[in-house]
Structure 1
Amino acid sequence: MDEKIVEEIIGEVFKKAKKEHASHSKFALSNHISNQTDLSSRTLERAYDRYINKKTKYGVPQAESIDLFCKYLGYEDFRDYAESKPRDAVIEQPPINGIDKQKLIINISIAFGLILLFFAFQKWSDFKYNNNSAVDKCMTWADSIYIPISCNKGPLSKYGTQVKPLDQMELNNMRKVEVNAAYDFFSEDGKPLVWYFKNKSNEHEFFTAPGLHPINGETLRKITPYIIQNYVPMHLDKKESFTPE
């Protein structure tokens, strides 16, 4: 089985999942696909790490799993997927006088185009920095995620939350989620994937990254088996909080 085709399949699988699901984290997408197929979320996460994150320590998915990936994309199995996308061999023209002139012209054109693109990007970046230095450099908490926002909005956003300098890691990774007994609380090596905070109403709020609570600034605590056993609902339907419009 050609692994390049497998990589292509995995890329299409997660591209489709991103169109169907609000959250684009590896764990959210894997859970979403798992809910619609017979694939386990673990298998999906390992496939994501190997082909999206390029972590080669994870093995190639089994043939049965690849067939299920193809079914998710609307094909019967791997063979159906491969046959539906014929890969024609490229017939190369013989070089003229030892030099492939067509390729030489194409390569020169590409190089020249890249140089022009580089200078155009530099000028655009300088213009944007000089004219929009205060725009979209901040973020604010919006119900269950951070969203980019202009720094000139004032100390508070329309959500009533603090406007603060943009932190790309927090923006990409911090989510407030609804959890249950079926949620993946730990990675394969035992590291926590969820952090929590107990509010004044004695309710537990759960987040996908460590750090400070987005509203009150209190330090979040990593999940433990005790918290899961005593404060996590036991129903098995997987849900995540919605991204606000």
Structure 2
Amino acid sequence: MKICIFRIMDEKRIEEIVRKVFQKAKEEHASHSRFALSNHISGQSDLSSKTLERAYDRYIDKKEKHGPPNAESIDLLCRYLMYEDYRDYVEKNPIKGTGREWELIVIMGIAFGTILTTILTLRNQVFPSYDDSSSNIEDKDGFIKKNIDEQLIDTNCMTWSDSLYVRISCDTGPFSKYGTDVKPLNQMELKNMRKVEVDAAYPFFSEDGKPLIWYYRNKDNEHEFFTAPGLHPVNGETLRKITPYIIQTYVPVHSKKENSFIKQ
């Protein structure tokens, strides 16, 4: 239930931002066509016209053939609206409750409760002698089955663990055992976001010149490098795409392993 609500709220927020962006563009540009407005916004920001056209299709024309914009694009949309980033937009534009949000929560809560009750009832019918103290059960043929409760654990959340995201139960709490936020599962971040060690030989750009690494400069003036755009997994700050200047100035010539070998 919690995951569904977050997704609905995020989509509503993004749609609200996209509509405001194109409304602002209409006030600034004579032509109001999708193509002309997208090119105008692209010229005023770091967003590509293709990204803007896809956002127009999804949120204004309601053609859901494209997915939602990534975190970096959403930050850039907010900057076009004169906000620092998405977080700044949300803080300065709180959602005004209409009562319908609570209707949705109540309806989804009832549905979730009904499903959970049905599952527990069926479990008791199928395994009437099930011992809650046991972590496994054995069937009549001697095969070991996993504890039924383990199958019911909600793993639709994730948390940052040192250098990558790991799946975790949404019931773990606001913070995981790693001290990082427990947040709704995002398959793209789970698959692509990694913190990596780099040296001068690392492939920072694709063959067509697109960045493959994004960085963050922490409070100790050290640079942290990541394999996907978006927000820093721990502090939520926006990651910046790598540039030749950053590589030349802050990336070591050799990896840590090579440096250790050279010292020996």
TM band (smaller chain)? 0.3 to 0.5
- TM value normalised by structure 2: 0.40
